[in-house]
Chains A and B, each alone.
Chain A
Amino acid sequence: MYDAVPASPASATVSATPGATEDARWRVIARTAFPFVVVGGAWEIVAHLGIFPPRLFPPLEAVGSAFMRLTIAGILPHHALDTLVRLLAGFTLAAFAGVAIGIAMGRSRRAEDIFLPLVSIGAPIPGIAYAPLFLLWFGLGNFSTVLLVGFVSAFPIIFNTWTGVKAVKEIWVRSAQAMGADQRRLFVKVILPGALPYILTGLRLGLAQAWRILVGVEMLAAVPWGLGWLIFGAREFLNTDVMLAGIAVIAVIGLALEKLVFQRLEQFTVVRWGMMT
């Protein structure tokens, strides 16, 4: 959405000379870093003033050293990897089931009648509310976590795929049929590309949903490894520095998902199909 905003005139004019671009880049970096420096400085001052116990409000260097210690010991990467694997497993489950159900709902009246009431009833309940029920039914641990993440992120995928397939223009379908396309070709060449922008939006929303819920579910499900569990477990020992290091890793993963996956997906659709305006 924000991509449509034209580049600022400043960056367009300074690109004339290479030295100026270098300058401009540094200025952008400095401008982005500035608020973090301010907030970090304020944090340091408060932490060193000793108003709050340092166990609860550790200075940044303590968080940094906890981060280094846990990374070198391989504990933090292990936690992060397990979280990512769970995210991927749950999301893959949701992507296949969601797209399949969504396409079925869009193409067949009967499937729509069957699934739409069920999906509409399940959707307004926040996914994490199902967590205790899933834990009760499927036990603590990985299986429940992955299943719940998949279940939760399936809803936006189903809805968007369904809308996308319905939004494929009837005239495209009919003209393809008139030109002799069989069912398979119709599906691969017309319906799928036509619905793809919506499907990708659904996948994006589903992944974001999965990410938001996963950390919380890890805390509840007592999985052996995982960033959510790391943070929640550190609470018992008042290891606020470990918690904040864990949150930093969560932020990095979230940011990477945003930049590498979501924005790529969006550009991919906009550029290749020109379907979105």
Chain B
Amino acid sequence: MTASSERAHTILRGTLTLLAAAAIYEGFARSGIFPAVLLPTLPTVARTLAAVLADGSMLMHAFYTLQRVLIGCGLAVLIGLPLGILMARFRPVENFVLPLASALMPIPSLAWVPVFILWFGLGGTVTILIVFYAALFPMLLNTWSGVRSVNPLWLRAASAMGADEHALFWKVIIPGASPFIITGLRQAFLRSWIAVVGAEMLAASDWGLGWVIFDAKEFLNADVMLAALVVIGAIGFAFERLVFGSLERATVLRWGMVRAAKS
């Protein structure tokens, strides 16, 4: 059996499994054992999904959520990346930041939601700050260990070949630390994706995918919930595959820091 037909076989079987799972679900939903509002049939969910996509409301929610994630993550990168590099290059910075980071890191970001609500009021600010908190530590610590793990031999070789500080930084340290930095970005995004949904549920703010799901609970709209879950899953999946995949190809793979076969 060749590799491609093996692949086709796997896809076929995967599809069959999903169809079977959908059929079982559909059977339960139609059997009437459970109330229809709690367990909507798949066509109902599909119709709801199509409706909220067509009238633009789901896109609006997705837009707000994405905006919050990007601002929060952006802030985390803006602070975490330079701070991580400083920590790795200067001992006093490391001595100061590391204890604070290790004390704050084990606190789940969602624990701060009620405090932030009191401080900043309900709404988008809280969510952005929670995302920032969730994304900061993976970014910071991965950058730190990435820069520290740059092979000292490369640094000495570059210095011996006459590289100044500037060239050393951009040509050796940054590419050398890049696999860690990209891992940090990935983790930061994953964490903030979790944090944004939770924060939107708790700090209700009219817009956002988390809010839609939570709001739908009040009205027993399980179909809206499932439709929003589909959208959340699709965005998460797209980010993981498209954004980080291409980021990896453009940087670490091109620089030959990791082999393509890895993933």
Contact = CB atoms under 8 A, between A and B. Distances in A.
B194 A220 contact: no
B79 to A, nearest CB: 16
A228 B118 contact: no
A216 B114 contact: no
Given A250-B107, A250-B108, A232 B114 contact: yes
Contact of B38 (A114, A137, A214): A137
B18 A216 contact: no
B78 interface: no
B115 A113 contact: no
B256 interface: no
Interface centre among B13, B108, B197 (most CB of A within 10 A): B108
Nearest to A236: B114
A113 B9 CA distance: 10
A197 B119 CA distance: 44
A215 interface: yes
Contact of B95 (A31, A130, A227): A31
A216 B220 contact: no
B115 A231 contact: yes
B18 to A, nearest CB: 5
Nearest to A131: B201
B10 A247 contact: no
A121 B14 CA distance: 11
Contact of A255 (B100, B103, B119): B103
Given A2-B145, A235-B117, A118 B229 contact: no
Interface in B71-114: 95-97, 99-100, 102-114
B225 A136 contact: yes
A51 interface: no
B119 A56 contact: yes
A228 B109 CA distance: 11
A244 B194 contact: no
A254 interface: yes
A220 to B, nearest CB: 6
A226 to B, nearest CB: 11
A35 B99 contact: yes
Contacts of A212: 108-110, 191, 194
Contact of A250 (B15, B111, B197, B233): B111
Size category of the binding interface on chain B = 35 or more
A125 B238 CA distance: 11
Contacts of B194: 126-128, 212-213
A239 to B, nearest CB: 9
B198 A216 contact: yes
Interface in A120-162: 121, 124-133, 135-137
A125 B118 contact: no
Contact of A126 (B17, B99, B232): B232
A247 B232 contact: no
B126 to A, nearest CB: 12
Interface string A180-219: 0000000000000000000000000000000111111001
A113 B14 contact: yes
A234 interface: yes
B239 to A, nearest CB: 9
B108 A211 contact: yes
B213 interface: yes
Interface of B: 10, 13-18, 21, 38-39, 95-97, 99-100, 102-115, 117-119, 145, 148, 191, 193-194, 197-198, 201-202, 209-210, 213-214, 216-217, 220, 222, 225-226, 228-229, 232-233, 236-237, 240
20 contacts: A36-B99, A39-B100, A113-B13, A113-B17, A117-B17, A124-B240, A126-B193, A129-B228, A132-B216, A133-B213, A135-B217, A136-B38, A216-B113, A219-B202, A227-B111, A231-B115, A243-B114, A243-B115, A250-B111, A251-B106
Interface of A: 1-2, 5, 31-36, 38-39, 56-57, 113-114, 116-118, 121, 124-133, 135-137, 211-216, 219-220, 227-228, 231-232, 234-235, 238, 240, 243-244, 246-247, 250-251, 253-255, 257-258
